[in-house]
Amino acid sequence: MAERKEILRELGLLPLWHLRRVAPNAAPTRRKGVEPAATRSTDATVKDEALALSRAPASGADRPRHIATLDWPEFAADVTACTACGLCKTRNMAVPGVGDVHAQWLFVGEAPGAEEDARGEPFVGQAGRLLDNILAALGMKRGQNVYIANVLKCRPPGNRTPTPLEAESCRPYLDRQIELIAPAIIIALGRSAASTLLNVDASIASLRGRVHRYQGVPLIVTYHPAYLLRSLPDKAKAWEDLCLARATMRRLQSESERGAGLQTATSGPTLKPN
């Protein structure tokens, strides 16, 4: 018992609360279908405490390591349970991401807006419709070889710019998504997403027009669809960026095919015995 109390103290689960002793002649109050606490075994209590602890979100130094082990079945639930920054107190719904989990194309925005916060899905408002139109122009479709996510999984109040602490708190989730998806190319939508991913404080104009890399994956920077709704002339520039992304994808595919062909050629024919 002493050892158990020491473990609970280290986990921050003390003090424990116990039921008051009931007078010998007093009849116990019992809810239908619920076993009285006094009759429950110590093993059952320990199991309940362990279950509650396992469902609690990881924190501190253990949090990045915990997130790095997540697979898709538990990913969204872990994002929803996250309390690493204050945004969990002001948002309506967490927005983990949506799309093909084996996609070659990964689009990363800044943070959910009001409609995304209400529905739990990224890019569903006017900006989302514009993004869908952009995908259609590229011959693609949401959910088919495309995954859409944000740097932040919760909406900042008033759609303000995320703080560095908020961005860094959410980065392990985005890193895990990139690891699970293994995309061929990443499109950073907007200055905030680009700055976070590339760890630079630079303008969109200075980052556009070239291929960057994040975790070894080619990354193209372009304007956020919400910005394009306010600045129509820059749509042409965004299209140039996406054409660069498409050309980069074709080059990667061509190099992959040449590499496969070279490997086949150098391996030589298989000789069959007479």
pLDDT of residue 26: 47
Q: What angle do CA 181, 163, 54 make, to 5 degrees?
A: 55
pLDDT of residue 27: 46
pLDDT of residue 42: 40
CA-closest candidate to residue 104, choices 183, 44, 178: 183
Contact 101, 147 (CB under 8 A): yes
pLDDT of residue 61: 73
Q: How many other β-carbons are positioned within 10 Å of the β-carbon of residue 154?
A: 28
> What are the b/e assignments for 41-79, b being 16+ CB within 10 Å?
eeeeeeeebeeeeeeebbeeeebeeebeebeeeebbebb
217-222 and 105-109 beta bridge pairing: unpaired
Q: Per-block average pLDDT, block size 10, for the chain (274 residues)?
A: 51 48 46 41 41 48 92 96 94 96 97 95 94 95 96 95 92 96 97 93 94 96 96 94 96 85 60 46
Which tokens sit at 188?
């950073």
For 62-255, CATH number out of 3.30.460.20, 1.20.140.10, 3.40.470.10, 3.40.50.300 equals 3.40.470.10
In DSSP notation, 228-248 reads: HHH-GGGHHHHHHHHHHHHHH
- The residue assigned the tokens 């990881």 is 58
Which tokens sit at 106?
């990964």
pTM: 0.74
For residues 272 and 274, give the distance between their C-alpha atoms in angstroms, rounded to a whole number. Answer: 6
Give backbone dihedrals phi and psi of 4, rounded to 5 degrees, phi first: -65, -40
